[in-house]
Amino acid sequence: MPISAISSKWTAKSPQFLSLLRIVAALLFMQYGGMKLFAFPAGMPPDGGTVKLMSEMGIAGALEFFGGALLLLGLFTRPVAFLLSGEMAVAYFQGHYPQGFWPILNGGGPAIMYCFLWLYYSAAGAGPWSIDAMRRK
């Protein structure tokens, strides 16, 4: 099989990979909220507990867990992803950037990555494996 045929078959699967990336990223993202709200899969350092729901960290946890769940399902993907992108920008500049310039040293790499990943999904949409796609039919 020629390379061009393989390449075109692989390229044709890009909408499904868009959905797959959204699903995996949302599952990972939800863990940050689960940790803050439910101490699952682990609690918040240093004591392993949860945060107060009506605190800034509690609101962040709710956005991460429930917003992540909406992204997992692909429901209201564009507005939710835009909101979560902004949340991650705030998280980076409030929590990580004051610790130093370099993300590898200040622990802000995941916040930056999620910020731009969710920004991309706010423009690209959820892909074919989503409730948003089913609602359009």
What are the structural domain ranges in the chain? 3-136
Global pTM value? 0.93
Question: Is the pLDDT score of 137 beyond 90?
Answer: no
pLDDT band at 7, cuts 50/70/90?
A: confident
**Distances from the Cα of 63 to the Cαs of 32, 33, 80, 96, in angstroms?**
10, 7, 9, 18
Lowest mean pLDDT among 4-8, 11-15, 56-60: 4-8
pLDDT category of residue 89 using cuts at 50, 70 and 90 = very high
pLDDT confidence tier of residue 101, bands split at 50, 70 and 90: very high
* Rounded Cα distance, 114 and 90, in Å: 12
More confident residue, 116 or 2: 116
Enclosing H/E stretch for 132: helix 131-136
pLDDT at 6 over 90: no
Mean pLDDT computed over 21-44: 97
SS3 74: coil
* pLDDT attached to residue 57: 97
Q: Positive or negative CA dihedral for 21, 58, 84, 108?
A: negative
Q: What's the whole-number mean pLDDT along residues 5-13?
A: 87
- Predicted local confidence at residue 75, as pLDDT: 98
- Per-residue burial over 63-94, b = 16 or more CB atoms within 10 Å of its CB, e = otherwise: bbbebbbbbbbbebbeebbebbbebbbebbee
DSSP letter, residue 48: T
Angstrom CA distances, 102 to 110, 112, 114, stand at: 13, 11, 17
> How many residues does this entry show for the chain?
137
- Closest by Cα among 125, 124, 56, 126 to 91: 56
